[in-house]
């Protein structure tokens, strides 16, 4: 089955700096890669996603890049703010072979943005 | 409703007791997923329902775990004879035609 590795497990940055979180996946058939943000006591919330026919996607201060050849994808947050502090999860899935968008998640990155 | 609703939000139970967790998906969402999140860990897939198709139970860790869903409505996750290692947050998510999941806030289960 799919295996998703996520690094780093913790990341501390100064307000205004950029943060980058990286993930690798094992199943070359995976074609959908979302990122979720989880605040304390809440469920994960989708913040951005990318499909395998696209190399990069941006939404204001966040962007995701995908390298299908290397089987890795990254989340980039620019101009970080204290409210960006949370646990971020990457995930991968494929929509063929009966998997029906069943997501496999990385172990998460605790991002702390220091004022 | 506007979001995925899970109940109870917290549950403390004695070892050996059965527990039932409930998930109300977003109306019209055909797909429903249960995940388990142990402290400081990622999300572990448990079970997936899609409409009236047979559920994907490949993530259930033992036969003490079971789940039901009638049509596209409420789902219940049942854990029988709870063990301390079952302590975790149990998250439910639903999905419509779009790719992304919408998660509920979870049920925090503590087995003492």
Q: Give CA–CA dist B111/A4, Å, rounded.
A: 29
pLDDT digits (tens, 9 = 90+) for B55-87: 999 999 999 999 999 877 899 999 999 999 999
| pLDDT band, residue B1 (cuts 50/70/90) | low
Among A45, A102, A107, the residue with its CB nearest the CB of B45 is A102
pLDDT value of position A96:
59
Q: Is B74 on the interface with A (CB under 8 A)?
A: no
Asked if B93's CB is within 8 angstroms of A43's CB, the reply is yes
Q: Residues in chain A with pLDDT < 70?
A: 96-100
Give Cβ neighbours of residue B97 (< 8 Å, ≥ 6 apart). none
Q: Say which residue, A85 or B42, is predicted with more confidence.
A: A85
CA distance A94 to chain B (A): 10
Contact status, residue A99 vs residue A80, Cβ threshold 8 Å: no
Residues 82-101 of B with CB under 8 A from A: 91, 93, 95, 99-101
pLDDT digits (tens, 9 = 90+) for A9-21: 999 999 999 999 9
């Amino acid at each position: 089955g799919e295996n998703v590795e996520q690094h780093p497990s913790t990341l501390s940055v100064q307000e205004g700096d950029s943060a980058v979180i990286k993930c690798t996946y094992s199943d070359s058939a995976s074609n959908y890669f979302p990122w979720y943000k989880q605040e304390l006591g809440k469920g994960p919330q989708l913040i951005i996603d990318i499909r395998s026919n696209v190399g990069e996607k941006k939404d204001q201060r966040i962007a995701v890049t995908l390298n299908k050849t290397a089987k890795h994808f990254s989340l980039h947050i620019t101009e970080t703010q204290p409210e960006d502090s949370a646990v971020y999860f990457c995930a991968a899935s494929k929509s063929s072979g009966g998997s029906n968008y069943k997501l496999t998640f990385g172990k998460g990155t605790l991002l702390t943005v220091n004022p | 409703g506007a979001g995925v609703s899970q109940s109870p939000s917290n549950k403390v139970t004695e070892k050996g007791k059965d527990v039932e967790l409930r998930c109300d998906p977003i109306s019209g969402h055909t797909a429903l997923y249960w995940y388990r999140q142990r402290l400081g860990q990622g999300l572990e897939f448990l079970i997936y329902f899609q409409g009236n198709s047979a559920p994907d139970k490949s993530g259930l860790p033992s036969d003490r775990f079971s789940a039901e869903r009638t049509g596209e409505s409420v789902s219940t996750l049942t854990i029988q004879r709870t063990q301390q290692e079952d302590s975790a947050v149990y998250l439910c998510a639903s999905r419509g035609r779009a790719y992304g999941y919408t998660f509920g806030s979870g049920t925090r289960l503590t087995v003492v």
